[in-house]
Structure 1
Amino acid sequence: MTTFSAVSIAYKRAWARRRVFVPIYIAVRLMLVALIAPAVAITVNLAVSLSNQTALTDQAIAAFILSPAGFIAAIVVLSLFLLAEVFVFSVMAGSLRMGESDPWRAGSSAIGLILSRLPALFGFAVRFVVRVLLLVLPFAVIAALIAWWTLTEFDINYYLTFHPPSFWVAVVLIGALVLVMAWVLIRRLSAWALGLHLVLFEGVHPGHAFNISATRMEGKRGRLKIELAIWLILRLVIAAVIAWVAGLLFALVPLQGTANLKLALIYSLLVAGMWSLAGLVLAATALGALAVVLDGFFEIRTTEPPHPEPGSLRVPLIAAVGAAAVAVLIGLWFGQHLLERVQAPDRAEVIGHRGAAALRPENTMAAVLKAIEDGADWVEIDVQETADDVIVVAHDSDFMKLAGVNLKVWDATMEDIAGIDIGSWFGPEYADQRTPTLRDVLEAAKGKAKVIIELKYYGHDVDLENRVAAIVEEFGMQDDIATMSLKYPAVQKMKALRPDWRAGVLAATAIGDLSGLEGDFVAVNAAMVTPGLVRSVQAAGKDIYVWTVNDPLQMSAMASMGVDGLITDRPAMANEVLRVRAEMGPAERLLLWLATTFGMSVDTQAMRDENP
């Protein structure tokens, strides 16, 4: 039998047992949501509480994970997630090996077995995480050394923008390292493939399961690797087909007028529900097929394999039915909430990111003036201190990306800066652009737009906050500026220095409750934004800004969620999107929401800013 035939037969066997696998998969997943998710939340909240903050962002997350307590917390969280996956797979494998055809009898037998082995399974999960981390750690250290050797002479944005030879050296070396790491991981994982079965069906101690599995898999690893690759490819192909069919169904959404709005919403949610259900069936079938594949490599060697008496899955069944009812209620609430949102006026302000950075060289007076001309409510800039104590507008730590000049901002004087052309890289017509000062920007913006000042820290700041405050007060613009930073202590310092000024937290990633941090607003990566986050931040009396949104569909989606500000490189486009949305009926707004949520294709050319 060929490896492809073996995998296809595994999928057929799993599909034949779909009436067992799918209900068990759904029921167990619901149980895990009730059990594992709170445990993860408790672990994360405990970790965050050690910092005396309600949330950790970016640098604080990295620093915490590198601390002893943070590393332990990360291991626990990873182990909990892995335990959830181990639990689901164990139930599928157990129900397969027990051969029961009734889903509830099979499920109750399998769950009874898993619960009797739960401490051992958790021990297996922890050991698995630690073993994988130990395998990955040397490669991660070497990769970090390569990056340090090749990508730290200049600001990282220079390497990411222009891809100099040293960048490609790093890409090639780290890429080769990743391939070696993948090869090592695949070898070890294929050797450990029977570890879970040994713990589950033979009662082997988790600490011994890995070595015993490696012994039993001798001579079989090559075939397993190929079968796993084929299993994954088949799953991806089936998922792609399901998504294609869903796309065809979404194309039939009836949006001919406001009268059909509820019908369109109901139809769309039904299609989305069918898509989700198909995804669940695929996940259950694929996991069942994986159980069949691995079961083919496992020969039980105990005289009396554990087969608990079938019991009742009444509790999981009740949980499943209850969860389904809750899901229906949530769906109805969500549908009503969505109808309200698509009919409500937008509240978003337009914030020009580094000026109008898509149309003019970033953080130059040309970009600032363009953002003001294009009607930005706010102009967002980055500030640092020079060697002669001047506050200048600059994002990177040096001038390599903007000018090809190897000079750090904190080592530069205004005389140096006067000779550095930071506009020609964008276009020869901007050769006259020089790094502006904060005074230049405030003078240009006064009475025309407000200014968000991002405080940049590279470890060489002297008195950045006080100097910024003095310049703002010199122009009398206390009510027309806001400050923000990726560095949370800087936000706290600004609030302590000027309690009445607007200050906010800038975050690319976060764990915990962002709404509980000090400040008047949070500015988050658009990928982090959810309706729940928007509601929690606004319920705390704060604003939420999203960055960097340059696609009109994404701008519309963020506006539909009720965000307070769109940080964009294209302020004219953002204003056009909001103008068009203001003239749209609910049906058209719903279409834009559907397009973003479900990947539908919508022509947004009319919203695009074609101005040079």
Structure 2
Amino acid sequence: MTHPWFLGEEVPRVLAHRGFVPLDSENVVENSVAALAAARAAGTVYLESDCHVTADGDVVLFHDDDLRRVTGDPRPIATVRTRELADIMSTRGGLATLPDVLHAFPDARFNLDVKADAAAAAVGTLTARESHRVLLTSFSDARRDIALAASRARGGEPATSAGTRTLARVLAAVTARLPRLAARHLSGVDALQIPERHRGIRVLSRRLIDVAHSAGVEVHVWTVNDPERMRRLWETGVDGVVTDRADIGVAARAARL
């Protein structure tokens, strides 16, 4: 059965990577409330983001585990109180806490990457009631499993994509031309979210796409900002792209359709 996260929306999908920061915007950073709003305004329903926790245990949307790259502050997010972080982000597009953005964007569908062990259970708990429009993922299969378990304990059933360990097993089975084994590794997975290449090694292949589709699993490729590359990937059967340029992705999809 197809998860509601995938239903009623156009394929190929355009996932806004950490929201969208328009080129002419001022004082807006990735993963801020303003960046998420800009992604929705650009025409995509899918908001991709990352989850950490503050010193108060609140789940916030940040990619890095510290503030250095985004704000110039070297402190780890886990050591900063939520109120102070909100003050820091007030001039950068607004702090995105997970409960607030779930409420603020009721028609959006969230692709949430659990970046910290301490965030896993909280993310699952907070998204349980909204799990019909949430896909939970993590490079760590263990974190992903904790988040999924926490959601299910409260009646949620989010979509999910494979962690690194699961993906490695799928790739090994595909390479060995063992589609049934690959399908077993894909059990319980709704999507593969992968780079086209990793450290010079090709990850995406036509065979992988075919095996995934046979198992009812979508393939999404990150991070793709060039419209020609988007079109090429879609022509090979890729179901969606994760992009920093939601505006370009939406326009490329519209031209294709």
| TM-score over 0.5 for the pair | yes
Match of 2:170? 513
Please state if 1:435 is matched with 2:105: no
Partner in structure 1 of residue 19 of structure 2: 355
- Secondary structure class of the residue paired with 2:56: coil
CA distance in 2, matches of 1:397, 1:501: 24
CA distance in 2: counterparts of 1:531 and 1:444, whole angstroms: 39
- Tell me what 1:470 maps to: 125
- TM-score, normalization: structure 2? 0.78
Q: CA deviation at 1:420?
A: 1.6
What is the identity percentage for the equivalent residue pairs of Structure 1 and Structure 2?
26
Give the structure 2 partner of residue 482 of structure 1.
Answer: 135
Structure 1 residues 526 and 377: alpha-carbon distance in aligned structure 2, compared to 1, 3 A threshold: farther
TM-score (norm 1): 0.34
Alpha-carbon RMSD across the aligned residues, in angstroms, is: 2.3
Number of matched residues?
222
Q: How does 1:45-60 map to 2 (within 5 A)?
A: none
- Which is helix-richer, 1 or 2? 1
1:411 Cα shift? 0.6
Q: State the secondary structure of the residue aligned to 2:52.
A: strand
Q: Distance in 2 between matches of 1:432 and 1:504?
A: 30
Q: Which amino acid aligns with 2:214?
A: A
Q: Name the structure 2 match of 1:445.
A: 105
Aligned-partner Cα distance in 2 for 1:541–1:530: 17
Q: Which has the higher contact order (CA 8 A, sep 6+)?
A: 2
1:525 to 195, 214, 235: 195
CA distance in 2 between counterparts of 1:502 and 1:535 reads 20
Number of the residue aligned with 1:98? none
Equivalence for 2:4: none
1:149-179 C-alpha deviation (Å, 9 max, x unpaired): xxxxxxxxxxxxxxxxxxxxxxxxxxxxxxx
Amino acid across the alignment from 2:111: I
Pair member with larger Rg: 1
| Deviation readout 1:24-72 (Å, 9 max, x if unpaired) | xxxxxxxxxxxxxxxxxxxxxxxxxxxxxxxxxxxxxxxxxxxxxxxxx
Give the superposition deviation at 1:492: 2.8
- Counterpart residue number, 2:56: 388
In structure 1, give the amino acid aligned to 2:256: R
Task: For residue 505 of structure 1, report the CA deviation from its aligned partner.
Answer: 2.0
Alpha-carbon shift at residue 388 of structure 1 (Å): 0.7
C-alpha displacement at 1:432, in angstroms? 4.5
Q: Partner of 1:578: helix, strand, or coil? A: helix
* Pairing of 1:128-277 with structure 2 (within 5 A): none
Q: Does 1:556 align with 2:231?
A: yes
Contact 2:124–2:148 (Cα < 8 Å) also in 1: no
- The alpha-carbon deviation at position 357 of structure 1 amounts to 4.2
Which residue identity lines up with residue 136 of structure 2 in the other structure?
A: T
Provide the secondary structure at the position in 2 that maps to 1:384: strand
Q: CA deviation at 1:399?
A: 0.6
Residues 122 and 147 in structure 2, CA contact (< 8 A), matched pair in contact too: no
4+ aligned runs moved over 4 Å, structure 1: 357-360, 506-510
Greater strand fraction, Structure 1 or Structure 2: 2
Tell me the CA shift for residue 358 of structure 1: 5.7
